[in-house]
Every structure is written in structure tokens, then in C-alpha cells.
């Protein structure tokens, strides 16, 4: 069986049986010891025959002319499958339709780290481009030998190599041969390096085009296999009965009613009901009497800001220049205020789900929508005390995770693993909506103390940002801690600060306080109110405070918010996106608030602007909105985003990503807040945790600022960051009232209007 046929088994016999192929691999051996097929072909020596089991396999060119690209990264809805296929096809001069992308299966794809933020295009895409270039060089060396002409006289189009009237396809070059190329590749913190040189940007014909996404047709036709759809032979369905409180433990477990078709499973504090039919498991979990201990280790929603300030914390200095304290003390005018963001849900439309099969021979297969299959593989191996090679994680599409499954964990998968091990059969664990809302690791609540000093001319002479941020790191899997297979280790405190400082403020000081989770000190599991990455983690909250405070300073000094920003920026790319957004939006150059701003009857309108640099991508947003002070209702009417993400791979996909950033973040800004009492989360459904409705969505304009000579830097998160502060500033522009605590619900806005 050849490597591209599901199982990933790679053998010369299998390759030949399939008609032949060229397989491009990488190995962790010194560069000096590596020999590429291109070099071997040019020298007329036999092709290298490495131990295929020890190599990371990236790309296969098949005898029928099709191409398989393998990536450890996965599709989260951004169009990664399509963009990676474009990049591979471009470098190979192959037809886009000939490239198939295999994602996330740990037995056949390399470990490229977590799929998060902008990593897929910025990192995995760069690797795809360079390795495909190495494959192209290999194939051209083969073609030069076949056609008896120099390599530099060959041309390639749609996978066919030509020299005048002489032609040979990629498929014919590998037909009947089992060729393996070990590329001189190094993947480290400094990037990816291979021997071949990629094509110059000026020769691109496919990259930069709006190629339709390859996954949409099957999703529309309901042919896509989502993780929730997985069914395997002899599988049981399970529902977990999670603890009453975050730190509650089992006191007693009763029996199911007579006649129930389900069975009860208890492994420490992991209590579940399993059955042949899913509905029997659902009913059983609802009917099972479980008594839990009381636990009240949380401060409660109303008290968490004060409780956060009281937590033991380590202060880290993010940036420091000049002498803030002296400059602030000497300032003619000073401003001090606090911004606050709530705990939030990722809000996956489909709750967590996974299937696990722990077999008697010690092998394990897990089907999951994790954002890091290789990391989950290592986590499962650790909790079962087996070798990672015994675990296979098969990735499937999920329902939109936004960071929910961003690191080396999947709660449902970890629970399914222990239940499968206990029951000796494959087990599917499906969480309920209540499970997901309550038990997911949430986006962290944050506090931001801002201070600025101004001289008599209104110039900023001192700037301080003091951030209090709950842990915002990869979460701990529930399964092993509930079972007791993993000792509580306590979560490491994190002060997550992202983003460089582009504004030229003298005497600047930026601090972040590293602190533990609420309740972690009294929970028997070692965790409290869990938090983890949520779209644009850290920077979303930081940019809200920074950009809104910049607007406060501009308003205090009577300056146009756009002009104020441009005056304090020297980065030409930052200036370009701000000017592009302002032009496309029809920005009104004037101080804020507008002259007719008010909180009386009727409807008032306002504009707001914000800027961010996220992971190398520059984004600026202009918001226009209407406020009805009597009801507190705020309606976004228009959002314009200009973005410079370096080289553009797929314009339409970028526009869709910007649109998703705008809509999801508007939902977070206006509606979303996780609330909790002293025991656990209380916002357990869509009524108590509402999201943006279709009739609340604005008109969205996008401006893609071209920069083709700069490598692509990703588009999944930057536009998220400009929304909160731009909305806050637009409300201020309309009403003269500044909102500093999200979410900006109608009730909050109405109360602020007096």
C-alpha cells in the first residue's frame, strides 16, 4: 500500500504497485550528510534509499500526475486546505486541481506545531513553498536526464516539462519507479530552509488569485465527515456527568432506573453513562443520581475584578523607556482610567465531541477536531503511560474552535480514552450545550490600568499600561485529572502580552501581572476557572485598552483621532493601512465627540478608528454606528477594514476572514460574558450567553493593501483587535459618553447615558 492510500504505510513495493511515485521527505540528520534526489540525478548516481519509517513525509508526486501534500496543520474554516494547495501547485508549476492536501493524521503527517493564529500560512505555508520547490528541482533534474537537455532550458506548465517539442509529464517521470527524496530541510525558530530556491513572486500565476475553496461544495452537500459524524464498529455512546462545582468530588453514585439500556461507569471523579444507542446514554445521564461535594472557590462575577487584583502575582515588564514616574509627576495634565474585558466563551456551535478506541494490544486511535493532533497524541500517550507511536490521532473537521482546542488537549477525547480503556470498546463522548458552556476553558477576564501625562501643548510625555490578565495558556485536559491518572500540578501563572509598541511615546512603561486561576488553590484537581487561547489572545484585550485610551487622549487635546495616530507613528505600513481604511470609509476629519453628540431622544451617530499590528500583519478599522440613548441599543451600520498581510495568497479568502473577524468580535463586544457564582459558571445556554443576530450585522468593506515582496503573515486574527476600541470610540463620538467595560449591552449603554 502506498503512502497516500489512507493508512500511510510507505514501502517501495506499495509505491511500485500504485504505478510509481516520487516521495519528498525530511530527516533530522546533519545538513552535510543529506543528498537530494536532484543532486543524485544530476550526478547520475543511484537515488538515496533511507529508512522510510524514520522520516517526515511531506509530498508525493504520483504516477497519474496527481500530487499529495501532507501537513500537520488543520482546517479551522479559514480556507487552509485551499491556500496550501495553491502554494504547492504554484511552486511545482502544477494544476491546482492536481493537488490534494492531507491534514492532521498523526500517522502520515509531520509535526508542524499547533494550528493557531497566523501559523498555517506564515509558517506551514512557507514550508510548503520551500519543499515544493525542492520537489520541482528534483523533477526537473529527472526531466533533464530524460530529455538530454540542460535543466535551465526547461519550462513547466501544469505538470508538463517541455524543451521545444520535447515534453514529459511529472507522472511519466516517476512512472514505474519508487523514488524517495530526502530534502536538506531544517525547521527551527528561525524558519525553514531547503536547498532549492522558490520561484520569484513576479512569476506567480496561481498565488494571488481568488481560487474557490475546495471544502465548501462537500460541506454544502452534507458530504463532509465532521468529528460528530464518526461511527466505528462496536462503538458505545457516552455522556459524562460533570461535577456540580469546579472543585466538587464524588460523594456517591446511585443506580439507573430499572429497565435502562445504559450502564454506569465511574473512574474516580469521572462519572459517565454509556449505551449502544446515543439517546439511551443521554437519558441515563439525566436520570443518574450523583451526589457531589460542595465547593465554593470562586469570587463570583460581580467581585472578580477586585479578586483579581488581590491574587498573588508576579509583575513582568513588557516595555520600558525613559522615566515614566518623573514625567507623569511633572505633566501639566494627567489622565488615569481602567478598561475591563469579561471572561468569554469560544462558543463552538457544535459542542465538544471525540471518539477513542483503546485496544488490548496497547494501540490507541482517537478521532478529534483538535487544533494540534501531534500534541494531543503526546498528551494521550502521557496519560496512558505508553509511547506516542502507539497512538494515532485522526483529525476531522469540527464546528469552529477559535482556540478552544488550540493546544495539546481535547477534553472530550481524554474522557473517551479512559472510558474506552475501561469498557474495552470504542467510545464516543458527545458533550451537551450545558457541558460546553460551563466546562470549556474560557477566554480570560482582564483589567487594564491606563495612565498618561501631557505637556501644556497637549503632547504625550508619559504613558503607562498596567495589565492584569488571568492565565491564558494551553489548558489541562479534564479526563486524567477527573480520573486521578494525573496528579494536580497547578497551572503556571501567565501574563500574556502580545504586540509591539509602534506609537512614539517618550517615558513609556508597560507591565503585566502573572497570576493563577481563580479557585486553583482550593480545587483538588489543580485548576480553577480554566482559561485558554481565544481568537487573538492577549492582544484583543490589550489593543482595546491601548487604542481606546489613545482616543481619550486625542479627545482631551481636541485632536482628530486619525491625525493624532499618524502624528505618533513612523512605521510606513502602519500609516498606509490607517490612511487606506480612512479613505475607504469616508472618515470625517474632526475632533471627537461630534458637535451634536448627545444622550437625549432620537438616534445619534458616530465614527471610531483603531489600528493593530498582529503577528506581522497590519490592520486598521473604521466603525460607523447608531446609538439610541433611550433604549441603549447600538447598531453597527458600517465597518471598514484595511489590511496589509504581506503577500496575498487568496484575496477572497482574506476578505472572508476579515468578515468573520468583524462579525465574531462584534458579538463579543456587544453581548458575550461568562458569568459565575462561587461554585461554577452559570451562563449555561444561548439565552444566558447570547450572540450577535443576523439583523445586527453591519455592512463590511475590505481593503487589501498589496505588499507582494513580503512573505504572507496570516489573516485569522488581526482584524479582531480593531473592533472593541473602534466601537467604544464611535459610541463616545455619538454620545460623549466613554464605555470602558465590555460587553456593551443595551442595559450597560442605557445606564451610561444616565
Helix (H, G, I), strand (E, B) or coil at 321: strand
Q: Answer yes or no: do 216 and 78 share one domain.
A: yes
Average pLDDT over residues 578-584: 98
Domain membership of residue 673 (yes or no) is: yes
Query: CA–CA separation, 613 vs 66, rounded Å?
Result: 39
Q: What is residue 27's predicted lDDT score, i.e. its pLDDT?
A: 54
Q: C-alpha grid cell for residue 572?
A: 510606513
Give how far Cα 650 sits from Cα of 80, 84, 103, 715, Å.
10, 10, 19, 11
Confidence of residue 541 (pLDDT cuts 50, 70, 90): very high
Instruction: Answer yes or no: do 393 and 316 share one domain.
Output: no
Residue 523 lies in a domain: no
CB 265 within 8 A of CB 427: no
Please write the tens of the pLDDT for every residue from 668-721: 999 999 999 999 999 999 999 999 999 999 999 999 999 999 999 989 999 999
3-class secondary-structure state, position 470: coil
Q: How confident is the model at residue 178 (pLDDT cuts 50, 70, 90)?
A: confident
pLDDT in tens, 403-420: 999 877 899 999 999 999
Distance, CA of 50 to CA of 66 (rounded, Å): 24
| 464 and 559 share one domain | no
Q: Is 286 exposed, middle or buried (0-12, 13-18, 19+ CB in 10 A)?
A: exposed
Q: Which helix (H) or strand (E) holds 348?
A: none
Same domain? 26 vs 80: yes
Higher pLDDT, 635 or 1: 635
What is the residue range of 100's domain? Answer: 12-220
Split at pLDDT 50, 70, 90, the class of 113 is confident
Least-confidence region, from 466-470, 574-578, 662-666: 466-470
Domain-located, residue 546:
yes
d(CA 739, CA 544): 11
* Same domain membership, residue 736 and residue 640: yes
Q: Do 43 and 162 belong together in one domain?
A: yes
Provide the 3-class DSSP secondary structure of residue 274.
Answer: strand
Closest CA to 251 of 292, 294, 296: 292
Residue (of 177, 205, 251, 254) closest to 21 by Cα position: 177
Q: Is the pLDDT of residue 37 over 80?
A: no
For residues 525-531, give the mean pLDDT: 92
Residue 714: what pLDDT?
87
> What pLDDT does residue 5 have?
35
Average pLDDT, the chain: 90
Bridge partners, 608 (sequence order): 623
How high is the pLDDT of residue 3? Answer: 39
* Residue 73 lies inside a defined structural domain of this protein: yes
Q: Are residues 663 and 710 in the same domain?
A: yes
The residue with greater pLDDT, 327 or 319, is 327
pLDDT mean over 337-341: 98
Specify the higher pLDDT residue, 516 or 451: 451
Of 108 and 15, which is predicted with more confidence?
A: 108
Domain closes at, from 195, 220, 245? 220
pLDDT in tens, 227-256: 999 999 999 999 999 999 999 999 999 999
Same domain, 499 and 550: no
Element (H, E) at 161: strand 160-163
Tell me the residue length of the chain: 754
pLDDT of residue 491: 59
- Whether 182 and 36 have beta carbons less than 8 Å apart is answered as yes
Residue 629 has pLDDT above 60, yes or no: yes
Residue 165 included in any domain: yes
In the chain, % of residues over pLDDT 90: 78
Q: Tell me: do 124 and 155 sit in the same domain.
A: yes
Q: Are the C-beta atoms of residues 363 and 74 closer than 8 Å to each other?
A: no
Residues 434 and 456 in one domain: no
Q: Report how far apart, in Å, the C-alpha atoms of 604 and of each of 594, 628, 648, 732 are.
A: 10, 7, 38, 11
CB atoms within 10 A of CB 576: 16
Final residue in a domain of this structure, among 439, 458, 482: 439
Q: What does the DSSP assignment read for 435-489?
A: HHHHHSPBBPPEEEEEEEEE-TTS-EEEEEEEEEE---SPPPPHHHHHHTSS---
pLDDT tens-digit map of 278-305 = 999 999 999 999 999 999 999 999 999 9
At residue 2 the predicted structure's pLDDT band, cuts being 50, 70 and 90, is very low
Asked if 669 and 541 touch (Cβ cutoff 8 Å), the reply is no
SS3 track for 636-702: EEEEEEEEECCCCCCHHHHHHHHHHHHHHHHHHHHCCCCCECCCCECCCCCCCCCCCCHHHCCEEEE
* Interval 196-202 mean pLDDT: 89
- Statement to judge: residues 574 and 682 lie in one domain: yes
Tell me, yes or no, whether 204 and 108 share the same domain.
yes
- Residues 489/207, Cβ–Cβ less than 8 Å: no
pLDDT surpassing 50 at residue 52: no
Q: Chain centroid to CA 37: how far?
A: 36
Write out pLDDT tens, residues 347-401: 999 999 999 999 999 999 999 999 999 999 999 999 999 999 999 999 999 998 9
pTM: 0.93
DSSP 123-138: IIHHHHHHHHHHHHHH
CATH number, domain with residue 73: 3.30.365.10
Task: Among 398, 413, 439, give the residue marking a domain's end.
Answer: 439
Residue 62 has pLDDT above 90, yes or no: yes
C-alpha cell of 647?
A: 503577500
Mean of the pLDDT values across residues 48-56?
42
Angle, vertex CA 141, rays to CA 140 and CA 145, nearest 5: 110
425 domain-assigned: yes
Output the CA–CA distances (angstroms, integers) from residue 203 to 199, 200, 686, in the order listed. 7, 6, 50
pLDDT score for 181: 79
Give residue for cell 514505474: 176
Q: Exposure of 234 by Cβ count < 10 A (0-12 exposed, 13-18 middle, 19+ buried)?
A: exposed
Which grid coordinates belong to 628? 439610541
Residue 215 lies in a domain: yes
Q: Is the pLDDT of residue 40 over 80?
A: no
Contact assessment for residue 555 and residue 732, using Cβ atoms and an 8 Å cutoff: yes
CA distance 488 to 569: 47
In a domain, 522, yes or no: no
Strand partners, 644: 618
What pLDDT sits at residue 473? 65
pLDDT bin (cut points 50, 70, 90) of residue 48 is very low
41 pLDDT exceeds 50? Answer: no
Domain tally for the chain? Answer: 4
The better pLDDT of the pair 108, 183 is held by 108
Q: Which of 279-293, 499-513, 580-594 has the lowest mean pLDDT?
A: 499-513
What is the structure's pLDDT at 54? 42
Amino acid at each position: 500500500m502506498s503512502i497516500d492510500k489512507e493508512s500511510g504505510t510507505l514501502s517501495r513495493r506499495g509505491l511500485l504497485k500504485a504505478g510509481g511515485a516520487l516521495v519528498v521527505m525530511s530527516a533530522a540528520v546533519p545538513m552535510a550528510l543529506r543528498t537530494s534526489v536532484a543532486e543524485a540525478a544530476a550526478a547520475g548516481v543511484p537515488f538515496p534509499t533511507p529508512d522510510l519509517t524514520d522520516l517526515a513525509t511531506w509530498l508525493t508526486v504520483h504516477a497519474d500526475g496527481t500530487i499529495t501534500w501532507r501537513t500537520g496543520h488543520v482546517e479551522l474554516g479559514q480556507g487552509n486546505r485551499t491556500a496550501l494547495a495553491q502554494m504547492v501547485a504554484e511552486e511545482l508549476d502544477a494544476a491546482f486541481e492536481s493537488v490534494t492536501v492531507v491534514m492532521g493524521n498523526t500517522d502520515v503527517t509531520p509535526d508542524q506545531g499547533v494550528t493557531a493564529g497566523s501559523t498555517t500560512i506564515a509558517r506551514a505555508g512557507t514550508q510548503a513553498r520551500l519543499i515544493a520547490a525542492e520537489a520541482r528541482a528534483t523533477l526537473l533534474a529527472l526531466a533533464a536526464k530524460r530529455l538530454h537537455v540542460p535543466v535551465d532550458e526547461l519550462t513547466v506548465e501544469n505538470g508538463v516539462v517541455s524543451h521545444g517539442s520535447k515534453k514529459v509529464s511529472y507522472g511519466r517521470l516517476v512512472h514505474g519507479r519508487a523514488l524517495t527524496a530526502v530534502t536538506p530541510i531544517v525547521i527551527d525558530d528561525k524558519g525553514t530552509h531547503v536547498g532549492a530556491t522558490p520561484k520569484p513572486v513576479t512569476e506567480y500565476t496561481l498565488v494571488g488569485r481568488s481560487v474557490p475553496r475546495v471544502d465548501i461544495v462537500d460541506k454544502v452537500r452534507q458530504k463532509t465527515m465532521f468529528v460528530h459524524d464518526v461511527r466505528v464498529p462496536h462503538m458505545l455512546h457516552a455522556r459524562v456527568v460533570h461535577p456540580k462545582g469546579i472543585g466538587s468530588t464524588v460523594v456517591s453514585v446511585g443506580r439507573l432506573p430499572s429497565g435502562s439500556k445504559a450502564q454506569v461507569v465511574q473512574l474516580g471523579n469521572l462519572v459517565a453513562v454509556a449505551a449502544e444507542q446515543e439517546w439511551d446514554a443521554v437519558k441515563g445521564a439525566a436520570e443518574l443520581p450523583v451526589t457531589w461535594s460542595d465547593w465554593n472557590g470562586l469570587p463570583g462575577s460581580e467581585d472578580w475584578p477586585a479578586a483579581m487584583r488581590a491574587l498573588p502575582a508576579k509583575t513582568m515588564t513588557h516595555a520600558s523607556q525613559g522615566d515614566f514616574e518623573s514625567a507623569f509627576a511633572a505633566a501639566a495634565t494627567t489622565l488615569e482610567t481602567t478598561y475591563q474585558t469579561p471572561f468569554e466563551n469560544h462558543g463552538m456551535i457544535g459542542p465538544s465531541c471525540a471518539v477513542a478506541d483503546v485496544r488490548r494490544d496497547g494501540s490507541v486511535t482517537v478521532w478529534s477536531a483538535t487544533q494540534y493532533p501531534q500534541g494531543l497524541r503526546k498528551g494521550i500517550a502521557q496519560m496512558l503511560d505508553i509511547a506516542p507511536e502507539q497512538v494515532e490521532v485522526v483529525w476531522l473537521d469540527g464546528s469552529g474552535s477559535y482556540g478552544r482546542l488550540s493546544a495539546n488537549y481535547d477534553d472530550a477525547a481524554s474522557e473517551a480514552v479512559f472510558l474506552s480503556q475501561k469498557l474495552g470498546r470504542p467510545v464516543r463522548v458527545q458533550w451537551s450545550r450545558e457541558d460546553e458552556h460551563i466546562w470549556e476553558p474560557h477566554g480570560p477576564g482582564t483589567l487594564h490600568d491606563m495612565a498618561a501625562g501631557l505637556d501644556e501643548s497637549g503632547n504625550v510625555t508619559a504613558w503607562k499600561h498596567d495589565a492584569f490578565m488571568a492565565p491564558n495558556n494551553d489548558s489541562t485536559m479534564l479526563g486524567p485529572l477527573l480520573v486521578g491518572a494525573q496528579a494536580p500540578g497547578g497551572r503556571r501563572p501567565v501574563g500574556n502580552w502580545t504586540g509591539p509598541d509602534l506609537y512614539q511615546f517618550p517615558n513609556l512603561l508597560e507591565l503585566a501581572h502573572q497570576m493563577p486561576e481563580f479557585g486553583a488553590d482550593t480545587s483538588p484537581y489543580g485548576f480553577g476557572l480554566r482559561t485558554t487561547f481565544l481568537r487573538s489572545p492577549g492582544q484583543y484585550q490589550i489593543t482595546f485598552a491601548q487604542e481606546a485610551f489613545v482616543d481619550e487622549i486625542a479627545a482631551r487635546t481636541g485632536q482628530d483621532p486619525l491625525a493624532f495616530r499618524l502624528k505618533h507613528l513612523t512605521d510606513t505600513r502602519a500609516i498606509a493601512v490607517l490612511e487606506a481604511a480612512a479613505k475607504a470609509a469616508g472618515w470625517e476629519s474632526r475632533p471627537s465627540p461630534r458637535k451634536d453628540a448627545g444622550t437625549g431622544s432620537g438616534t445619534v451617530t458616530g465614527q471610531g478608528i483603531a489600528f493593530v499590528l498582529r503577528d506581522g500583519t497590519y490592520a486598521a478599522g473604521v466603525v460607523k454606528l447608531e446609538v439610541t440613548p433611550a433604549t441603549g441599543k447600538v447598531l453597527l451600520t458600517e465597518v471598514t477594514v484595511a489590511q496589509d498581510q504581506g503577500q496575498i495568497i487568496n484575496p477572497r479568502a482574506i476578505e472572508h476572514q476579515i468578515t468573520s473577524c468583524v462579525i465574531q468580535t462584534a458579538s463579543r463586544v456587544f453581548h458575550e460574558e461568562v458569568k459565575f457564582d462561587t461554585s461554577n459558571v452559570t451562563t449555561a445556554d444561548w439565552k444566558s450567553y447570547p450572540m450577535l443576530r443576523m439583523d445586527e450585522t453591519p455592512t463590511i468593506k475590505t481593503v487589501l493593501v498589496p505588499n507582494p515582496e513580503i512573505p504572507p503573515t496570516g489573516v485569522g486574527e488581526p482584524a479582531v483587535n480593531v473592533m472593541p476600541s473602534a466601537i467604544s470610540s464611535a459610541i463616545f463620538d455619538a454620545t460623549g459618553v466613554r464605555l470602558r467595560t465590555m460587553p456593551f449591552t443595551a442595559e450597560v449603554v442605557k445606564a451610561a447615558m444616565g
